[in-house]
Structure formats: structure tokens, C-alpha cells
Amino acid sequence: MKIGIIGSGMIGATSARLFVKAGHEVAISNSRGPESLKGLVQELGPRARATSVEEAAAFGELVLLAIPLKAYDTLPRAQLSGKIVIDAMNYYPQRDGQLDFKGGSSSQFVAQQLPGARVVKTFNTMYFKPLGEEGKPGAPLEDRLVLFVAGDDAEARQTVSRLIEQIGFTPIDTGTLATGGKHQQPGTAIYNRLMQPAQAREELSKM
């Protein structure tokens, strides 16, 4: 699959390594431009290229958003329309300033900014270190760590879930962007906790 990545920091670069290792083609971008990504794409090898943000969005059948949420209004809406978009972003008011989600989840807010994008919230509940180091492709699904998945588009959720399995984690569905999206936000019982599927299902049943 062709994957665009917006943001080349802890989550963007870590995900790029995992995607390339799983055999996908990656176009990665950041705020400073492709020149600043020379070292990273060299490390990633021939399946990776450094691009502008717009080019990364246009390149990907699936596009990962891995930037601070406060930069939401710089995202290339036209290029993201129709794409499966992973929202890995979390809302931290100290970093992102005051944003008004009008009672919805931060991912609903993101989806509202991106007309036509098929937004799936995932990769946001796990710290980048275990994300980079703890995936176990080939291990039984019940023995792996969980990445939670929320979204309103069933096909998009399925595509993202397959990708999660390929990089060695187990996708666990939390529901729509409204409900599951909120379950996955900072401060909840499943946020930033390493869990296998049995425990994840148990925690979710209590939410």
C-alpha cells in the first residue's frame, strides 16, 4: 500500500519504519521540508521518499497525521479528501491551546476539518517507544499488544486494522469517532497503557 505520513517526529518516524518493514511504500513530510528528511529516508531505504506535506497526502491511499493537533488548520484538505486518514493526534491544551470540540471527540473535530476524509483514530494511545519496539508480526493475536481503533467508516477501519496486524499489534475496535474516539483520548482507562486483547476488552466493557 502507498502510505503518506504528515509529521516526522516520534510517531511519524517510528510509524514510517514499521510500514516500510511491513513492505509498504512511504512518503514522509514535516514542517521544515524534504531536505530535512534526507537522513531518515536514507535509513528507511528505497521504499521511502521525502516530500512536501501536500505530496505526502496526494501519494498515500492511506495518510497518517502525526503532528501537534494545534496545526490542524494547515492540513491539505483537498489532497486528503477521499483518503483513509489515520488520526494519531492527541489534544493537550498546554501544547495545543484552547480548542472547542463542541462536546465531541478530538477526532470528530479533525474529521470536520477534512471533508471527504475517512478518518480512523488509532496509534494515539501508545507511546512511540513500545510502538517501535514491541510489535510481534507472526505472533498469535491474543499474545500481542493492542492498538485501539475508532472510526465511522467500516471499510477504512478494516484497512487500518489489517495494517496494524501487519506491523505486529492487535487492533481492538472501540466504536465510532464519537464514542470510541472519546474512549481513546488522554486520561481514560485505555490511554497510554500497554495491554493484550483480553485485558483491553475487559477495560472497554467497563467504559
Stretch that binds ligand NAP, among 26-34, 41-49, 146-154, 168-176 (CB under 6 A): 26-34
Does residue 66 bind ligand NAP (CB under 6 A)? yes
Residue whose CB is less far from ligand NAP, 93 or 155: 93
Binding mask 119-158 for ligand NAP (x = CB under 6 A): -----x--xx------------------------------
> Please, are residues 164 and 122 in contact by the beta-carbon 8 Å criterion?
yes
Q: Whole-angstrom Cα distance, residue 89 to residue 107?
A: 8
Residue whose CB is less far from ligand NAP, 7 or 175: 7
Does residue 89 bind ligand NAP (CB under 6 A)? yes
Which H or E run includes 96?
A: helix 93-96
Q: Whole-angstrom Cα distance, residue 170 to residue 157?
A: 13
61: burial class by Cβ within 10 Å (0-12, 13-18, 19+)? Answer: middle
**In the complex, minimum distance from the CB of residue 6 to ligand NAP, in angstroms, rounded to a whole number:** 5
Residue whose C-alpha is closest to residue 65's, from 91, 99, 39: 91
Number of Cβ within 10 Å of residue 139's Cβ equals 13
Does residue 79 bind ligand NAP (CB under 6 A)? no
**In the complex, minimum distance from the CB of residue 140 to ligand NAP, in angstroms, rounded to a whole number:** 25
Task: Provide the binding-site residues for ligand NAP, judged by CB under 6 A.
Answer: 6-12, 30-32, 53, 66-69, 71, 74, 88-90, 124, 127-128
